[in-house]
Amino acid sequence: MALSPAEPAGQASQASPAELPEPARPANLAELPTYPIARECPYRPSTGHEPLMAAGPLTRVRLYNDRTAWLVTGAAEARALLSDYRRVSIRNRGPGYPLLNKEMEKVVDSGYADVLFGVDPPEHTKQRQMIMSPFTLRRTARLRPEIQAIVDGKLDEIERHGAPADLVPMFAQPVPSMVMSLLLGVPYSDAAEFETPAHKLFVPELAEEATQELGEYLDRLIQRKQDDRDNDTTGLLDDLVAKHLATGNITRDELVHIAMSMLVAGTDTTTNVISLGTLALLDNRDQWEALCADPSLIPAAVEEILRYVSLVEAFARVATEDITLGDTTIRRGDGILISCAGVNFDAGNVPEPAKFDIHRPAKPSFSFSHGIHRCPGDNLARLELEIAFHTLTQRFPTLRPAVPISEMESNNNDGTLQRLYSFPVTW
């Protein structure tokens, strides 16, 4: 994985978004389109994005609290803004930072996003450099045999269980959790202590409780690693304890939040892509059968699944200075929402974007973001997804949903990370 370019030496910190002006409300507020747009299908963004995209690459939208934000649906504009770390901030504490629903306020208040993907340079630069070594393409590739063994083991359990089986708790959840446990040095025997709060974190009414539970578990784990250097698990967390916590380079609270962010981001997202991607393939049966017949399509299929599912509704930012793109000026303090659906379904970027087609040439989607905040674990996620879909299609070619899509519980309407809560399958 190519690392993001380093920030220029001596770069001044951005003004705190909390110091930015309150964004002005336009006179035509009631006429603005509301956002986010509920999905009609769990594995695909709503076609309701199409009128917004047709209106231009930047559109003013109205949020749940009558605040407004610029919705960016053009690929070129999205890349420009996400690369502009001097004038675009990811910090979520300012008045203009766009939240997609009231419940997301609780996630922000929990402190979950106060490290890594919630801070700007220079803090972001320091934290990212600490964690990047295990995520290079070469280091990630070494995990292939172990990831394959994890996937094989979970599919063995499904086979022994027999049909019907719920793909979410039996496969899509445990595989990423076990991989991240391996990478971080978190004992998978502690799975219940971190999986339960990790999944609760995005249930709005449970976010505060989940953050506390997961933080307390990770604090205990860090203490165990400090006390017992001969522990039976080693990984990135052990390196951070030895090289950065012990030397005073980071605080204990900072390390807990870094570990929490990595553990949740590395498990929940991949879980949802596995389940939603499998549903997309099975609901487009010709694509599933093509993948079963030709495993060489796997890399392209993974990229198409990432594009089509567009798991994250939008990447939120706030402008710290005036920014002019084409005929539009984003004012200092304005909220910005980079629409994954907009960019991934931009006809100028992808021909026939509404078509789900795993035969497209493998082209990275926008789903891992862009710029200095591009997901550090994209190589690992791709490897997990390639192994998961390859093995699933080869071992269960007759797999099919056990219930209609309309009966599957998902969070189509809340504008956060898209997910299936249950996915019964048979074969």
Q: Are 370 and 339 in contact (CB under 8 A)?
A: no
Q: Are 260 and 214 in contact (CB under 8 A)?
A: yes
Confidence class of residue 2 from pLDDT cuts 50, 70 and 90? very low
**Residue 17 counted as domain residue:** no
* Residue spans of beta strands (DSSP E) within 287-390: 314-319, 323-325, 328-330, 335-339
Q: Is the pLDDT of residue 417 over 50?
A: yes
**Residue 196 counted as domain residue:** yes
Confidence class of residue 349 from pLDDT cuts 50, 70 and 90? confident
Q: Is the pLDDT of residue 306 over 60?
A: yes
350-359 per-position pLDDT tens digit: 999 999 999 9
**Residue 22 counted as domain residue:** no
Quick one: average pLDDT of 14-25?
73
Confidence class of residue 10 from pLDDT cuts 50, 70 and 90? very low
**Residue 359 counted as domain residue:** yes
Give the three-class secondary structure for 186.
coil
Domain that holds residue 232: 34-426
Count of structural domains, the chain: 1
Quick one: average pLDDT of 280-298?
98
Preceding omega of 36 cis (within 30 degrees of 0): yes
Residue 270 sits in a domain of what CATH number?
1.10.630.10
CB neighbour list of residue 278: distance below 8 Å, 6 or more residues apart = 167, 172, 389, 392, 399, 423, 425
104-118 per-position pLDDT tens digit: 776 676 666 678 888
Quick one: average pLDDT of 67-88?
95
**Residue 244 counted as domain residue:** yes
**Residue 322 counted as domain residue:** yes
**Residue 365 counted as domain residue:** yes
CA-to-CA dists, residue 391 to 152, 280, 306, 356, angstroms: 7, 17, 18, 21
CA-to-CA dists, residue 344 to 308, 319, 409, angstroms: 7, 23, 25
Look at residue 233 in the predicted model and tell me its pLDDT.
64
CA 186 to CA 416: how far, in whole Å? Answer: 27
Q: Are 100 and 313 in contact (CB under 8 A)?
A: yes
Q: Is the pLDDT of residue 294 over 90?
A: yes
Look at residue 87 in the predicted model and tell me its pLDDT.
96
CA 168 to CA 265: how far, in whole Å? Answer: 17
**Residue 16 counted as domain residue:** no
